[in-house]
Amino acid sequence: MNLAWRMTCAKAIELGLATARSIKDQYPYNETIYRRFFNHLLRHRNARAIDIDTLYPVGGSAHDLNGNISELIATASDFENAIAAVEDAMTHEKAAQEVEDWHRV
């Protein structure tokens, strides 16, 4: 993870999205640099950053590849709310076309 972050910072500097001074020698995680880099990288994609506003207790290390692995499962209510949001936003035909064109920019 540290190597991936250092490489991200180096590329952000190379692209002019950050300065070496803003990153410093220690390369601590910086949300602004992360967002700038990935907004640049995904500028031709339909992508957006999602703000995380809930902190969860730490249960181990992000570096532990054999940690607790679980599957995310939506509740029936989650599913119904998601479908209702799509139905409110577009017609059935438009939704079907969006699914069909998932790979297009």
pLDDT in tens, 15-33: 998 888 877 765 677 888 8
Between 62 and 86, residue with greater pLDDT: 86
Phi, psi angles (nearest 5°) of residue 86: -65, -45
Buried/exposed code over 74-83 (b: 16+ C-beta within 10 A; e: otherwise): eeeeeeeeee
Does residue 16 sit in helix, strand or coil? coil
- pLDDT category, 94, cuts 50, 70, 90? very high
Rounded mean pLDDT of 36-57? 87
- pLDDT category, 68, cuts 50, 70, 90? low
Answer for the pair 62, 37: CB distance below 8 angstroms, yes or no: no
Residue spans per domain, the chain: 1-49, 72-105
| Distance (Å, whole) CA 60 – CA 4 | 20
